[in-house]
Structure 1
Amino acid sequence: MWAILSILVENKPGILFKVTHLFRSRNFNIDSISVGVTENPEYSKMTITTYGDEKQVEQIVKQLDKMIDTVKVEHLDEHKTVYRELSLFKIKLSNASDSMEINKLANAYGGKVHDVKKESIMVELTATPDQIQAFEELAKPFGIIDVARTGVAALQRSGA
């Protein structure tokens, strides 16, 4: 199962290492991670996505909750959460019609086109990881030169 973990931590040097070390020491893989300072500069929020069975995810949540620098750990329900990831794709252009097709594809996914050159085009896409994967599959035939992804940012819906 895919899991989204929201971890509120004290904003101190070394906390990212401690959290990632906990995952590594439990032989648990991090699918994506994003970290940022909250509205209170004393705290940062980490959003980590991972795969594991229910028991494994429950165990990692308990271990994270025991850490001294951890304030709050939540396993977010993806159906009650708004989550998005930012991605940038640099895609090869072989001819002028490729540019038009990639523009149509980007528009269909709510993407923005940047940096159009003779040999490449860049697309910015903010979407769910599944939508980004679907876009990537459709863009592959053109030739993907490079991809950069931020990791998931997530907030639980009000009343969830």
Structure 2
Amino acid sequence: MVLKPQKRISNKALTVWRISGVIKSVIGWSITATALFILPIFDVPFWVSIVLIVLGVIFPCLHIFIFPSLKWRSWRYEVREEEIELEEGIFIKTRTLVPMIRVQHVDTNQGPILRKFKLASVVVHTAATAHEIPALEEDEAEELRFFISRLARVAEEDV
């Protein structure tokens, strides 16, 4: 029987992702307002303006209220001696196994919004790609970074 990852990211991620949704919405509204101002100059049909306005209402609702909750509920991770397992995805579930032997280095990232909420993301680098565990409590992220680094060294020594 294959066990699914059990650990969850911080519930503060909801607030961070909602703030990001607000920022994206403001940018989208600015672009939409500019487009609505310019469209009459080019004799664009009126229905195009209606579509832009409807999208300007729907997308913020999705990115501020719906997607953050769905994204948070679906995010899971587990760090084991041999691998790191990540599970994410709202509509398409992705489960990723990163063998410890492939881990080259581990970083923590913290932008201004994450810093405000005392969160950080852990990024696990392999030769081919990078895998992120988003929005962990700062202390948990640091502990996880050291733990993965230590396990990766042990896995490398065993080879």
- The TM-score normalised by the length of structure 2 is 0.25
Asked which structure has the greater CA Rg, the reply is 2
Structure number with the higher strand fraction is 1
Structure number with the higher helix fraction is 2
Select the structure with the greater relative contact order (CA < 8 A; seq sep ≥ 6): 1
- The TM-score normalised by the length of structure 1 is 0.25
